Structure 1
Amino acid sequence: MPGLTGWRAVLLVHRLHFPLPLSYLAYAWWGAAFAAAEPRDLIGGPVLVTVAATVLSLLAGLALNTAADVRTDRHDRDKTALTGAAGRFGSRRIFGWAAAEAIAAMVLAAVVALRLGRWAVPVVLAAALAAHLSYNLEPVRLKRRGLAGPAVFGAGFLAVPGMASYFAVRPALEASMVPVLAGLCVLAFGRTTWFSVPDHEADARTGIGTPGARYGPWRTLLVSCGLVAAGLLLLGAGLWWRYGAAWAITGAVTEGAFLAGMTALAGPRRSLSRMRELATPIVLLGDLSLVAIPLLAG
């Protein structure tokens, strides 16, 4: 791709364009925020190492996805820069990066486990990495298996990894965290389904049975909105249990605000791609709220 520098290509392969890196940090830190008794708990040594391990696991999953999806993404006009970056290095090298990042993540998680005696930390990250492998690679390749793909990807990328930093602060899961985690998993399922809709033409053209390719964009959007609503209800219930009604409403509003991107579907110039573009910056608001609400409410 003309003018694409080496570092810019590396960043694109790992989806590190603004505002996504801030969201990745939020995914890695939200568990510690919910577990912390005071703000300084978020910057303890084991937590910082766990956050670094979690971010590495997320980057490994993104690089793996880039390498696995090159053939499909070449048919997507919105991903010209991404395929250009992938073409600069080749799938084999990107797979190698993903493997190295995953190994580094597990080594750091093991260090934390040995330091604290909490093996839940590497178990959480191993589960997240297993989700990425099953989503991207044959013979499982859940991306081509309808709604199973976004369910596993959403949980393995947006929700579950944050629990690693939770266990770096607390040794056991509090009961009130169950609806919070369940809500985030369902919300991530709906959000991943929603964000995948603009890719439905490229997926259908290359035989990838994503929900958008199988059911069409409008039915998929309807399903995804229902999932988002269910996730917000569960998350709100958990936040209400922990922090009260006002914070539950705040969390539900900030986490659901990305649906405002559907305004791009109104009028004669409606566009699915524009829908995603409008929603991406708003998503950061919800991601940051996961870290902010426990700290402000506490």
Structure 2
Amino acid sequence: MPALTYLHRLEHPFGVHYACAASWGACYATRFDLAVVLAVLANFVAIISGNPLNAYADVRNDIHTADKRHLARAVQEIGARKVLTLAIFEMIFALALAVAVSWKVAIGVGLILVLYLAYNLEPIRLKRRGYAGPVVLAIAAGLLPSVTAYSAAGGQADPAVWLLFSGVAALATGRALWWAVPDRAGDARVGSRTPAVLYGTRHAVNATTQLTVGGLLLVGGGLWFRFGPFWAAVGVVACSAFLLARDLPTARQQLRYGMSMAVVSTIVLAAIPLLA
């Protein structure tokens, strides 16, 4: 698979997940005109721009993690400086698209980019600062894109939607925490104090479970208030399947099984407002 595909984490099933995360808000506002499409595209580019930046920043970590060495090799193949330049160009492009839509979309996309920079780059590098890492990643890749697209599509203030988006953020925090568990050895070796490094694998998996259950309650409540009990049950069942994969020990198994379950739930949550 080409190095650029690896750097952007567009291998199956990530691309579908990013597309759904970028468009969730528009789906719940049920409007897709040109401005909304541009806002969704800005979201998508902003989300994937964080991946080459992360590969650039994590090259020392990834070289010590068996299932992530392909990312380090991709950075080495293209060149670290070129990878960083690519990430910056994509961020500028995402922001330009957002500015073309509205100042609200520009603020939303700008915040996504700021959080990605803070997550990855020194001296802040929130990835190595305990729970700040997964929380910021969930906000940048889950909550903010949803709110940005919802605003662009003319969505009105609705407690049910805020419950739903908050639930999505909780689910994304749990998944970000879970996704970092196989990286524990590589992160510890370079001094990244992730929750799995600080508190151990079992703690991280238990926290993932708790965050997922909390997210399910919020998602279920939001869907119930907005669409009724049937669609709430559909959404909760789809999202809860991820719990079956919480103990997978390697990134390869996580990608094959856990992320596939997560992506199915992402598709279901995007489809519910269009079908209900």
Question: Is 1:86 the counterpart of 2:65 in the alignment?
Answer: no
Alignment-derived partner of residue 276 in structure 1? 254
Report the Cα offset of residue 256 of structure 1: 2.3
Partners in 2 of 1:127 and 1:90 — Cα distance?
A: 28
Residue 12 (1) aligns with residue 3 (2): no
Letter in structure 2 aligned against 1:234? L
Trace 1:1-298 onto structure 2 (pairs within 5 A). Answer: 8-36=2-30, 41-42=31-32, 44-113=33-102, 119-170=103-154, 172-262=156-246, 264=248, 271-273=249-251, 275-277=253-255, 278-297=257-276
**TM-score with structure 2 setting the length:** 0.95
Q: Deviations over 1:94-119 (max 9, x none)?
A: 11111111111111111111xxxxx2
Give the deviation of 1:174 after TM superposition. Answer: 2.4
Paired letter, 2:88 = A
Aligned letter for 1:23? H
SS of equivalent residue, structure 1 residue 11: helix
Q: 1:208-242 CA distances to partner (integer Å, 9 max, x unpaired)?
A: 00111111111110011101111111111111110
Q: CA deviation at 1:263?
A: 6.1
CA distance in 2 between counterparts of 1:201 and 1:259 reads 23
Deviation readout 1:101-148 (Å, 9 max, x if unpaired): 1111111111111xxxxx221111111111111111111111111111
Identity of aligned residues (%): 37
Q: Could you report, residue by residue, the CA deviation over 1:50-86 in whole angstroms, capped at 9, with x for unpaired residues? A: 1111111012111111111001100000012211111
CA distance in 2, matches of 1:263, 1:189: 16
SS at match of 2:180: helix
Q: Could you tell me which runs of 5 or more consecutive residues in structure 2 were left unpaired when the two chains were aligned.
A: none
The 2-side partners of 1:163 and 1:290 are apart by 15
CA distance in 1, matches of 2:224, 2:155: 23
TM-score (norm 1): 0.88
Q: CA deviation at 1:262?
A: 3.7
* Distance in 1 between residues matched to 2:188 and 2:147, nearest whole Å: 35
Give, as a single letter, the amino acid of the residue that structure 2 aligns with 1:253: V
Q: Indicate the SS of the match to 2:159.
A: coil
Letter of the 1:137 counterpart: L
Q: How far apart, in 2, do the equivalents of 1:135 and 1:125 lie?
A: 15
1:160/1:185 contact within 8 Å kept: no
Contact 1:263 1:275 (C-alpha < 8 Å) held by counterparts = no
Alignment-mate amino acid for residue 18 of structure 1: H
Q: Tell me the matched-pair count.
A: 275
Equivalent position amino acid for 1:97 in 2: L
Which structure is larger by alpha-carbon Rg, 1 or 2? Answer: 1
Instruction: Summarize deviations over 1:251-282 as a string: whole Å, max 9, x none.
Output: 11212212222464xxxxxx344541321211
